[in-house]
Structure formats: structure tokens, C-alpha cells
Structure 1
Amino acid sequence: MPAIEAMPLPPGVTELLLQASTATITMQLLKRGFRGLAINGVRPMNPAAARFAGPAVTLRYIPGREDICQAPKPTDPDSAQRIAIEGTPAGHVLVIGTEREIRAGTLGDILAWRLKMRGIAAVVSDGAMRDAPVMAGIDLPIFAAANAAPASMTNLHPVEVQVPIGCGGVPVFPGDALVGDLDGVVVIPRHLVEEVARDSAEQERMERFVQREVRRGRAIGGLYPPDDATKAQYRDWLQAGEPED
């Protein structure tokens, strides 16, 4: 079975991304002119396992056709789906583009458990997932657009791995960074990931200060967004060790 080359994020970047919400990251992308990198219509199968960050491995499905989409047999050659399941490196995110086909599940519980045991960071599909009751109990971030009982070969055919795909209306290239939480999933172009991670972590720190001031009764004028006086107060707060009160 062909190997999929690992594309780890630069050192420290994953840790910074895990400090930031997808809301913060989308704001940092907006500041750079990107308005459409939040994957539309997906939600976590297990809300208790929604937080993740990692580089993308892509799997592309096309609509199925009866003469090529049959029930699987042990003698079948390796499909793009099987290559993705067995080849996605640990710590990476398997991103599946289905052209938003939700009549059949892209994965079921056995394949999800296999990915979990292999150390995959997350699975994101703009299609459906099978075996929803089991998926809801797996400690692996799995995002999908719907639940569906039929198997993937009912309406889908896996054709390629590690090619640019569309997922929920967003272009995803192999190696792009994905971050997920209860608000959804956002894609960060690979060449921007270090600066977005850095600035997102800084925005989170600033917003902790802003939230503290709001809880103390302060109005948002000059605070959110911060003016020069607020920025000076923020620097003092950092030097004081970021006190909560």
C-alpha cells in the first residue's frame, strides 16, 4: 500500500493553534483578506471531542455508479479510501470531500476506530457518517454534515488521496492546517500557518484581558477594539502575570 508523506506543522504551531478558538482564527484570516475558510455545515459527532489542530491529508470522492460501486470483497485492490485509512500519518487530519453528498456515510465506526488507534488528529467530511451512536462515544474529533445509514459505496466512489479538494465549500490542499472546536472547522493556508498561529494566540491573551475588564463593569468604547490606552493597560497586565481580578 503506498505511503502518504507526513507534512507536520512547524514546531510549536500546533500548540499555539490549540490555544486559539476557531472564532479567533477566522478573525486573523479576515485581517489577511480571507473570508471563506470556515467549512460550512459540519458539526462534531461527539461534542466532548471537538478540539483539534493538525495538517490535512485529503481524500476525494465522486458520485457513485452502479458498475463500479459494489459491496466490498477481500480480494478487492486497495481503494483510495483504504489508502487514506491506513496511510494517514499520526497527528494529521483526514479531510474528505464528497461534493456534499449526504445520502451515504463516508465512514463508519470500524474505520473511525482504526483511525483513532492509529493516532489521527481528526476526521472532517462534508458528507455524512454512519453508526452515529458509536461515533458519539469515540474520543476522536469527527466532523460531518449529517448521519446516514447506507454505506459509502451506495452513492460515493473514492478516487484520490492527497489532491486539492473542496470540503464544505472551502478549498483544502494537502498540508493546510485545520483547527476545530464546537463552533466548527477552519482551514489555514499552509504558508500562513505560523503567523496566524502566533497572532491568534496573542489575540486570545488580549481578549482574556478585555473579558476581565468587561466583567469588572467597563464599557466597550476604547476597550473592544482596544485603543492605545487600553493597549498600555494590557501590557501592564501582562507584566503583572495576567491576574484574574
Structure 2
Amino acid sequence: MAVLIEFAKQSFKQRFIYRMNAYMMVASSFVGLIIMMSVWKALYSGKSSVGGITYEDMIHYVILNMLVQALIRSRIGQKVGERVENGAISIDLIRPVSFKGYFLADQFGENLFSFVFTTLPAVLAAMLVWGFSVPDSALRAALFAVSLLGGIVLMNQINYMFGMLAIWLKTAYFINFITGAVISLFAGSFVPLWFYPDALRTISMMLPFHLVGFQPIAIFLGKLSIQGAFLVIAAQAGWLVLLLAIERWMWNKAQAQLDIHGG
């Protein structure tokens, strides 16, 4: 564990070297928030609510979504896939540390830096400009925190498994598309699932991606009952157990026939 913590620290320090870029990203993130708020304000023009969702709800959703996306962001699949593609995985496998743990620690350090130096300043500024209120229930706030942690773990697990597919496909080309466009679509990363057509929303709810960010935000905003919040956390745990079992099967198969592309 101490070794993995050190990996996370090194990942954080590597990004800290280029912290001036992060300061520029704060301005970029805030401009992005202004654009999103303007779009939703225009869509809500003349309407007090849409489908039971008020403009104030959307202000909170946009701010929370930026916060959540910074924490659940994962490039593990891309990194694993690239190391399979260039053969560097052969070195990773003989390291005296967990292969998966190394990538998790590296991602944690990367996300921590991005959150502290890029996202948090932009989010705090947004809260001052547009206002923000927290749940009036300590239990709801706690359930949000637990579900957010579950979303972070679930997102990294999903990304790691997509990265493992490169062992068989010998390419990491597809990973950015799947972990970017496809997951974002079914996770409600850009538009909340509340506004999806029924068919698309039904498909999204059958997949685990909505549990990563959308449902924790819904818990925070009070769009789910306390019972519903517990069900979300239970669903996260269920999906995680299933994915871990599939990962174990994939890893056993991979070790039996690992033929490193380019190595």
C-alpha cells in the first residue's frame, strides 16, 4: 500500500510541474460553465420547469457535474491499452507491485491534481456567481458521498477492463472512443438522463454508466428518495462484484495466452 501511495504522490508531482497549464484550465473551465449556463437558461426561457426539473436544479446539476466529472475521470483503459500496444506491459508484469494498483494510484494522483488546481477554483467561483445550496439532510449528504465514491471505483473498474481488451485486440485505438463518447452518452455526462427519449433512457438505465455520475448527483439534488439512494449504492456494489468477477476471468485468460504486441 505504501508503494501505491508513493506512485500516487509521484503522479501528482509530475502534473504539478506544469501547474501553469492548470491555471489556464481554470479560466477555460469557468468559460465552459458560462456557456452551459447560458444554454440551459435559453432552453428554460418562459418555463418554470421541464419534466419536473427547474432551472435552479440545472444550475446545481451543471456545477455538480463538473465537480463529479473531475473525480470520476479515468484514463486507465487508455494507459493499459497503450502499454499493451507498445509492449511495455511486459515490464509492468514483473514489477513487485500490483499491475492494476499501479494504474489506480497513477490515476488518483492525476485526478487529485486536476481537482485541486483546475476544477475546485472554477466550481467555487461558479457557486459565488450562480449560488449553490447543500442538502438539508446529513444522511442525504452522506449517501451522496458514498455513491460518489462508488462511482469513482466503478468508473476506474470499467476503464481498466476496456484496457484489458487490448490484450486480445492488439490495439488501443478503440478505447478513447468507448470511454469517451459511448460512456458519456449512456452516463448522462452532458445532458441529464431526465431529458433523454424513453428508449435511450431505458437502455442507459440497463447499463452501469448512469451509476457513475448521474445518480450520485440525483441523490444530492433530492431527485431520489433515501430508499432510492440506498438502492443506487446497492446497484453500484452489485455491478462492481460482477465486473470484478469478469475481470478475474479475463485476467486468467490473458495470462494463459499473453502475446505482447510489439514486444
Q: TM-score, normalised by structure 2?
A: 0.23
Larger proportion of strand: 1
Larger proportion of helix: 2
